[in-house]
Amino acid sequence: MTPTDIIIGTRGSELALWQANYVKAALQQHHPQLRCHLRIIQTTGDRSLHTSLAQIGEVGLFTKEIQHQLLKDHIHIAVHSFKDLPTERPENLEIAALCDRRYPADVLVSKNNLTLDQLPPNAVVLTSSLRRQAQLLHRRPDLQIRSIRGNVLTRLRKFDQSDAHAVIIAHAALQRLSLTDRITEILDPADFLPAPGQGTLAVEIRSDNPQLRSIVADIDDPDSRAAATAERAVLAQLQGGCQVPIAAYAYITDDRIHLHALVSDLTGTTLIRAQDSAPIEQHLQLAQKLAQQLRDQGAQTILDQITADQPDL
């Protein structure tokens, strides 16, 4: 391998390959001499398709095998959906770039073109996310939530073949796969909060490679980094993962970052929100402030109870 040859590690789904090819093209646009090659790596989350994410109760379901290959120097770059990365960082790895973010909202894909409020009483909605489940039930306690797993195309196929009325999917995923025609309703991310970091691509490298760090830094987007990092900092402060309903949404206007965050119980009965803004350079302090506001309103009690009820976490 010459210094211009870069192996990019990625999952094998259509969306993951789109993301890896996006990073490949962005790198080669800035550095035409690079020869980038994709290497598909299967993860625990890809293999465990018949169990809900919360029940698996393991961090790094979609990332740890890729990170292992990176640590072993079998790949040079790992491309992840930022929301899939655990908040606790492995030693010797770093996020060298957070790419230009796509709209982080969730969307409703429904049959008969019905919006969330138009779904019939006791309608069945598919999602594997406790965060989405909690917010759906908070808004519509009558809904029946059923778990669904698989990549985006698999989930759409399962939904189409089911008796369910709707499924919730990330807007960015459908946009990247040119499937926005499937969207029935875009759920306002300031109201129906997304996963922290949703819509953002993370490019991870080994910390001992300053030459590659300099190359990858060219595709980093500062505003996307500030917004997604603030959201993830709320998650880290609350020590949450996919087993607890924690959501956050940040956006930037006029050099200020606006941050919304929430914690909910599993049924959406008790849903606690906080929001505030600050200068962009204070995005981490803002995240810490909102996490503390959530705790002051009782979020820690909710999180402790969820953990206590799931002893395998």
Catalytic residues: 84
Which parts of the chain are beta strand (E)? 5-10, 35-40, 77-81, 93-98, 106-110, 124-126, 144-146, 166-170, 185-187, 201-206, 246-253, 256-264, 271-279
CA–CA distance, 136 with 143 (Å, rounded to integer): 8
Rounded CA separation 192/235 (Å): 16
Contact 106, 170 (CB under 8 A): yes
Distance of CA 290 to the CA centre of its chain: 19
Q: What is the DSSP letter of 63?
A: T
Q: 10 Å Cβ neighbour count for 309? A: 9
